[in-house]
Amino acid sequence: MNMKTMDSIKTSNAAPREKLMEDLRLVVADAEELLHATANQTGKRAAAALALIQENLQVVKESMVAAETAVIERTRQAAKVTDQYVHDNAWNWH
């Protein structure tokens, strides 16, 4: 495996991870908003906050599934590249 391939694998892992972290931050912020809204009042504001949390939670779940799929695929690619490298650069044990 050359350095360019390794750098490409590292870079391709960073984007989904950053997106997932941003989605999780958004869910936490929405949950905090819900807590503040329900502490002082109920009704429209609490219902709106709850709807927003549910929507963002769905986005996070979808992002997690996509991230998991991407990680599995990248792991397979890395294994193939590593296997090819090992076969192309077999060590002599003599």
Contact 5, 74 (CB under 8 A): no
Cα(20)–Cα(27) distance, integer angstroms:
11
Q: What is the pLDDT of residues 26-71, one digit of tens each?
A: 887 887 777 777 766 667 877 787 788 778 878 888 887 888 888 8
Q: How far apart are CA 20 and CA 15, in angstroms?
A: 9
Here the contacts of 2-10 (C-beta below 8 Å, separation 24 or greater) are 5/81, 9/74, 9/77, 9/78
pTM of the model: 0.52
